[in-house]
């Protein structure tokens, strides 16, 4: 019998009448059942979070107590690290090496970081002004809805939860309906940490079923969403019914620029990682790679050879370098982009099809795919594919390359590869993106903010800036006029 995962509401695990089978994308087989939240369950979650914030003990506990709860969650993740990594791989298909060495330990470190820094981040500020003194306070927003995508279900849930809780908010967390398992497993860790009832509520259902109810409700003070631009626009519309704070981390069409003086091997492996890690299902995926003329032919030859050698397989196999796409529908979407690119004249240099390997037949696998001769007018150049599809382009004019990098609706991330780091830093200033890596890719730090511009969204995750997104700023002014009444006393002082 496959395991069953209930909802987590008001400090209790709640079974529901409706259940959903959760599928392993490597095999297409159900690996668990998850409770599906009804409208009534959503109502209960919102009511629980609201009561916990307004009348519960959470807002009154000391920062040291809040820190202790967060450290308990971090410790709980570490203690269940092997189980969580295996579950993440089963549910997403990503290689177990990624879950084990990246996702799970990073999730634990996020809770640890914000636990250890919440006092510093929340430090009040006082300003002496003419005839007055100001106290500037960072307060929690209140009830925060956290909506998490399917590509990094545990890690992104931890990014959002750690900040929201450290800032003193109460939470309703909704994982993706495709990948709810590690979030629901995280509920057990949170319950074991002993947080007051209602501070964290974790529900599961499709966004189409409960998204509007969650996001339009006036009991919600803030929404933090990571996902597609299309869904993000719906959430913005829902939230307009009752105005609330939003963090929107949306899509990307990120790019790498490889200069002629770059270390070839580092640039190659970095660019391969930037598009084929997690099957290319990353908003920061460097799906467009621009290589300077003098290096282009060597780069492409080696890039294609290495891409063809990437080992596809079941995520639980430690030899696997790339797993399946998340679902059959996602694979159909990727195939449609590939076929359209071919029809528009792009040159398919590698991959582009479902692998003809018997052991991969039942999963949602797709070959690492590389296109050349991609023009800026092609759909595959402008739109987010969210799959293992790279577009390689040569350039001779650096300003022209920068214009192409900036010439999409998205502005999330970029990578620059060059030995001359001062030149790379200068180029970084010309690129319209929220995060730019030089001679590396995908380095996220809990100390540093992350987020994009344009259609990639607004608001930040991580760092002090990301933490303070989950707070509201209050200004308290005390009149200190000496030997005179305050100015307003004279206004109507008859």
Residue 305 falls in the annotated catalytic set: no
Q: Whole-angstrom Cα distance, residue 413 to residue 161?
A: 23
Residue 249 falls in the annotated catalytic set: yes
Q: Which residues of 405-437 are buried (b: 16+ CB within 10 A; e: fewer)?
A: bbebebbbbbbbbbeeeeebeebbeebbbbbbb
DSSP H or E run through 446: none
Segments of 238-318 assigned E as strands: 245-249, 255-258, 288-292
221, 469 Cβ separation under 8 angstroms: no
Catalytic residue among 163, 215, 271, 283: 283
DSSP H or E run through 471: strand 471-479
Q: Whole-angstrom Cα distance, residue 16 to residue 218?
A: 25
Q: Whole-angstrom Cα distance, residue 479 to residue 130?
A: 9
| Helix pair 81-92, 104-121: axis angle to 10 deg | 110
Q: Which of 229, 230, 234 is nearest to 249 (CA)?
A: 229
Q: Which of 160, 63, 149, 67 is nearest to 107 (CA)?
A: 160
* Tokens of residue 262, six digits: 């770059």
Catalytic residue among 88, 112, 185, 249: 249
| Phi, psi angle pair for 53, to nearest 5° | -80, -45
Return the CA Rg of the chain: 24
Catalytic machinery residues: 249, 283
């Amino acid at each position: 019998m496959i395991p069953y995962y209930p909802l987590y509401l008001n400090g209790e695990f709640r079974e529901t009448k409706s259940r959903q089978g959760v599928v392993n994308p490597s095999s297409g087989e159900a690996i668990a059942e998850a409770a599906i939240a009804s409208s009534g369950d959503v109502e209960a979650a919102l009511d629980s979070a609201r009561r916990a914030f307004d009348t519960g003990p959470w807002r009154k506990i000391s920062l040291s107590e809040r820190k202790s709860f967060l450290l308990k969650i971090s410790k709980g993740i570490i203690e269940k690290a092997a189980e969580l990594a295996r579950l993440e791989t089963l549910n997403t298909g990503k290689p177990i090496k990624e879950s084990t060495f990246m996702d799970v330990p990073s999730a634990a470190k996020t809770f640890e970081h914000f636990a250890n820094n919440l006092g510093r981040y929340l430090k009040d500020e006082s300003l002496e002004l003419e005839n007055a003194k100001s106290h500037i306070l960072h307060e929690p927003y209140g009830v925060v809805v956290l909506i998490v995508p399917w590509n990094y279900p545990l890690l992104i849930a931890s990014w959002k939860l750690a900040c929201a809780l450290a800032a003193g908010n109460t939470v309703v967390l909704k994982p993706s309906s495709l990948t709810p398992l590690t979030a629901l497993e995280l509920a057990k860790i949170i319950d074991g940490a002993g947080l007051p009832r209602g501070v964290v509520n974790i529900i599961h259902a499709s966004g189409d079923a409960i998204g509007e109810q969650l996001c339009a409700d006036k009991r919600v003070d803030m929404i933090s969403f990571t996902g597609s631009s299309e869904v993000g626009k719906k959430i913005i519309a829902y939230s307009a019914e009752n105005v609330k704070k939003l963090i929107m981390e949306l899509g990307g069409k990120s790019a790498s620029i490889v200069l002629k003086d770059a270390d070839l091997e580092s640039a190659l492996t970095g660019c391969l990682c930037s598009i084929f890690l997690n099957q290319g299902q990353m908003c920061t995926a460097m799906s467009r790679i621009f290589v300077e003329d003098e290096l282009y032919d060597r780069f492409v030859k080696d890039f294609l050879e290495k891409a063809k050698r990437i080992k596809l397989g079941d995520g639980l196999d430690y030899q696997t370098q790339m797993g399946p796409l998340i679902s059959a529908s996602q694979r159909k979407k990727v195939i449609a982009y590939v076929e359209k690119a071919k029809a528009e004249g792009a040159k398919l240099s590698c991959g582009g099809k479902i692998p003809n390997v018997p052991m991969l037949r039942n999963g949602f696998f797709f070959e690492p795919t590389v296109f050349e001769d991609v023009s800026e007018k092609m759909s595959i150049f402008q739109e987010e594919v969210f799959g293992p599809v790279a577009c390689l382009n040569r350039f001779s004019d650096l300003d022209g390359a920068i214009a192409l990098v900036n010439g999409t609706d998205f502005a999330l991330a970029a990578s620059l590869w060059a030995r001359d780091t001062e030149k790379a830093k200068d180029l970084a200033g010309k690129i319209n993106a929220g995060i730019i890596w030089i001679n590396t890719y995908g380095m996220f730090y809990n100390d540093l903010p992350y987020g994009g511009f344009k259609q990639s969204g607004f608001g930040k995750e991580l760092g002090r800036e990301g933490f303070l997104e989950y707070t509201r700023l209050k200004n308290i002014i005390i009149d200190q006029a000496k030997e005179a009444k305050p100015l307003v006393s004279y206004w109507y002082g008859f």
